[in-house]
Structures are given as C-alpha cells and as structure tokens.
Amino acid sequence: MTGTGDEPFIAAVKPLVDAMGGEMMPPDEAGPDDVVLSWEGRDAVAVRLPQLADSLDHILAAMERRKGMPLADLDRKAKQEVVRILEARGAFSVRHGVETVASALGVSRFTVYNYLNREKGS
C-alpha cells in the first residue's frame, strides 16, 4: 500500500481488519473517522472501521462459519451460548440488535430476551 518495509506490518494486521469487517487503504486516503496505523515511525495503513450494525452482521456470519452451520440450526443450548457471546461483544447495544440476532437464530425477540435474562439470573 505504501512505502518499503510496511508490507510485513500490513500483512500482520490484515487478518484482524478482515475479522472486524474493516477496510484497509493508503493513509493519505484516510477520512476523519478512519484509524491510521504507524509502523517504524511512518503512517503505514489506514483502517476504515465498519458501522456497528454492519459489524453485527459480520460477527453473525463469522459465528456461522465457526459453527459450520446456520445459527438457526443450532440447538437451544448452543443458541444460548451464541447470545452470551454476542452480549459480551456488545451486540445488544446496537439499534435493532435483538431483532437482528433473533432473526439469525430463527427465534423470537422474546426468546432472545429470555436467554439474556437467564444469564443475568444465574
């Protein structure tokens, strides 16, 4: 992307940026909300982070890949585990987060709230 010597750094951070659903670009193309990463005293790469709602979709897709099946096909215990992980990652602070997760899990919003309340009660 940029000058000599940056390639190992860029290669090292690429999996993290990809996992977050971010986009890498040359530092001189960075906007005010982008994060510019420096390497050896020089700006090496800019990272455009996804919007929170896009991040939730990305997280859900990654969880499906990890589980090897659609989240809706998981059993109840596995769905409860997914809700616990998503809560820890802040998924329910996103507008329409409960609805998005409920849809991905193939359950109602009420069921997601029950899973969340069960965690708080235990």
Between 27 and 6, the more confident residue is: 27
pLDDT of residue 4: 54
- Its sign, for the CA torsion 94, 99, 102, 106, is negative
Residue 41: count of CB within 10 angstroms of its CB: 6
Tell me the whole-structure pTM to 2 decimals.
Answer: 0.60
Q: CA-CA distance, 33 to 70, in Å (whole number)?
A: 33
Task: Tell me the pLDDT band of 18, cut-offs 50, 70 and 90.
Answer: confident
pLDDT of residue 75: 96
Q: CA-CA distance, 9 to 38, in Å (whole number)?
A: 9
Laid out side by side, the sheet with 42-48 consists of 23-25, 42-48, 35-39
